[in-house]
Amino acid sequence: MADSIDESKNVSVTDDDLENKSKGELIKLAGQLRDRRNDLNQMASERASDRDDLNAKTREKVDEAQEHREQRDELNQQVQEHKEKRNELNAEANELFDEVEDQRDELELDEGKDIEQLEDEIEDLEFKQQTEVLSAEDERELIEKIEEKREKLAEKKEKLNQGGDLEEIKEEAEEIRSEASKHHQKVTELADEAQEHHNQMIEAYREADDIRDEADEMHEKFVEAQEAADQHHEDFVRVQKRLRELDKKEEEEEREARQEKEEAAREEAEEIYQKFKEGETLDTEDLMKLQKTGLL
């Protein structure tokens, strides 16, 4: 950052200076004022250039922040789109899973023993019937039990055949949920990326503010130098005006002195001419005086 002006190098002029200083002193003072003014104008120009550079950097940072803002907003829009798609797919998958559960409840597929267990029990009972010596009553009860289990097995198989499309529905639901998971993953990735652009936007705006503060300070330094240069110029003009007044006064004094001299010469010539008319003899110098005044 530019330093403050070294005021010890400044040149000043007072009304007393203008009134009482000699012409030579005023000429010297005018030169000092002019040189200091030129130095200050150069300083002001350099500070204005530095200020403009800082303002340009501020605009660059603001533009950079705006780019991050636009990218962030675009990514957030994509996040919202993937969220909506994810939610739609999850809702669709849930409907299918609910449909599977409803049909299983309706077909009572989850109630009682499963098919393999019934088949094993039937096989055990038949083996017992074939290998053990039973009373007529026990064998009759065993046969009834086997028949009962065979009926339950047939009923189970029939229900399973009726609900054959449940697995397909379940697979479809799982595929849809898998697709929803992919959209959820995109939501996470895009949200992280959007947050990064948001952080970079905040940082760019912060840097822009810092640079703008420097530019404002440099502008104050420019104004300080320019005002000092303007003051020196005004004082330079005042001295120049006073010098012109002195020049005019000198010219007036010289003109008056010249007129007085000419008047005195004319009066002397008239006296010589009068002597000439009265018959006095004139020397060469007197004749030249008469010629100069046009009397001869």
3 state SS of 210: helix
Q: Which CATH number fits domain 22-245: 1.10.3470, 2.60.40, 1.10.10, 1.10.287?
A: 1.10.287
| pLDDT, greater one: 89 or 169 | 89
Give the range with max mean pLDDT: 77-81, 114-118, 260-264. Answer: 77-81
pLDDT, tens digit, 9 for 90 and up, residues 217-255: 999 999 999 999 999 999 999 999 999 999 998 899 889
Q: What is the rounded average pLDDT of the residues 258-263?
A: 85
Give domain limits for the chain. Answer: 22-245
pLDDT, tens digit, 9 for 90 and up, residues 268-288: 777 777 877 777 777 788 778
Lowest mean pLDDT among 36-45, 175-184, 269-278, 287-296: 287-296
pLDDT, tens digit, 9 for 90 and up, residues 172-181: 999 999 999 9
Q: Report the C-alpha gap between 233 and 13 in whole angstroms.
A: 11
For residue 110, name the pLDDT band (cuts at 50, 70, 90). very low
* pTM metric for this prediction: 0.61
Whether 22 and 243 have beta carbons less than 8 Å apart is answered as: no
Closest C-alpha among 103, 119, 121 to residue 160: 103
| pLDDT, greater one: 190 or 100 | 190
| pLDDT, greater one: 261 or 199 | 199
Output the CA–CA distances (angstroms, integers) from residue 274 to 245, 270, 277, 288, 289, in the order listed. 43, 6, 5, 15, 13
